[in-house]
Chains A and B, each alone.
Chain A
Amino acid sequence: MDAAEAKVDGNAIGGLLREIFVMEMTTAETTCASCGAVNPVGRVDVYLRAPGVVVRCPGCEQVLMRIVRGPGRYWIDLRGMRCLEFAASE
């Protein structure tokens, strides 16, 4: 497949993130640990066909987050994200 078409965005992982955080997360704000850019999850770059899910900063392409879902288990690497901010559920 064309590499450029392999990229989608954070809207595509709204379901996965809701499994993990148990709330709507595409409006959550991410802060890139590398360039400091702040973007809602709906705007970040997402690659679904890596081993697991790879989320990158749309500005500098730094890896913000990696999520691997195995049988009955998640592994989440958040090193590239300085902050993930979202509204508390009521």
Chain B
Amino acid sequence: MVALNQETPRVASLVLDVPEWHGHDAGQHVDVRLTADDGYQAQRSYSIASAPEDPRLQITVERLEDGEVSPYLVGEVRVGDKVELRGPIGGYFVWKVENSTPLLLVAGGSGVVPLMAMIRHRSAAGSKVQARLLYSSRTADDIIYKEELDRIASSGDDVTVAYTLTRAQPSAWKGYARRIDRDMVREVAWPKELSPMAFVCGPTSFVESAAGLLVDLGYDPLRIKTERFGATGG
């Protein structure tokens, strides 16, 4: 590990220098394995946050207090430590800039991580594909990559970002302040006539509800790709 960026109180990005890394696609993950002194092993999957164009691999990890792996990755691991990983893994939940239809990204919590890799890939490749992100978090402190997302959204580069905060909102909050629902999706999502490609990632119940709302809007189910984190056992 060559750098550690604390993104929120519970979320950190690990920047890794991986020998013999042959590149990845935006949306893929890696499996991280920890081995205790007595040989006990625990393994979890973490999404890649960096663009394929980035020479250094970055994963973003949310610390789960009852987790076996994430409390080590967010809190104990130090710059210079070695981390055992395999990957990149996945080919289904993947977006490439060659795909030129409008892009809709819907994130719940740390489900934003693989979608951030897609946004970074889009920027790094100089793509003009129009993209919209709808991002649900509990509180303002839980928004991952906020500064970078705001910068990209205000750069006039055809990326819009809509936030919703479900638990608490700061005063003068201009975003949404409720769970994702039909009206919100209708306001943010591309009309189905544009044949958009949608990627939805987050906790299982969030993903199923958001994907259902897109189907109700008339989106082609085959153009809605989902990745469920479950309750996530990190």
**A26, B205: Cβ atoms under 8 Å?**
no
**B204, A7: Cβ atoms under 8 Å?**
yes
**A4, B204: Cβ atoms under 8 Å?**
yes
Selected from A5, A8, A42, the residue in CB contact (under 8 A) with B225 is A42
**B228, A7: Cβ atoms under 8 Å?**
yes
What's the Cα separation between A26 and B205 when bound, in Å? 21
**A11, B204: Cβ atoms under 8 Å?**
no
Per-position 1/0 for A36-50, Cβ under 8 A of B: 000011110000110
Looking at A12-20, A60-68, A72-80, the stretch in contact with chain B turns out to be A12-20
**A42, B90: Cβ atoms under 8 Å?**
yes
- Enumerate chain B residues within 8 angstroms of A41, measured Cβ to Cβ: 92
Interface size classification for chain B: 20 to 34
- Enumerate chain A residues within 8 angstroms of B31, measured Cβ to Cβ: 15
Residue from the set A1, A6, A14, A48 with the largest chain B CB neighbour count within 10 Å: A14
> A27: CB under 8 A from chain B?
yes
- Enumerate chain A residues within 8 angstroms of B86, measured Cβ to Cβ: 15
What's the Cα separation between A4 and B206 when bound, in Å? 11
What's the Cα separation between A12 and B92 when bound, in Å? 11
- Enumerate chain B residues within 8 angstroms of A10, measured Cβ to Cβ: 92
A15 to chain B, nearest CB (A): 4
A61 to chain B, nearest CB (A): 14
Selected from B90, B91, B92, B228, the residue in CB contact (under 8 A) with A8 is B228
Binding site for B on A (CB under 8 A): 1-2, 4-12, 14-15, 18, 24, 26-27, 40-43, 48-49
Binding site for A on B (CB under 8 A): 29, 31, 43, 45, 86-87, 89-93, 203-205, 225-231, 233
Q: Known contacts A5-B203, A14-B90; can you find 13 more A-B pairs with CB under 8 A?
A: A7-B204, A8-B204, A9-B227, A10-B92, A14-B45, A15-B31, A15-B89, A26-B93, A42-B92, A42-B93, A43-B92, A43-B226, A48-B230
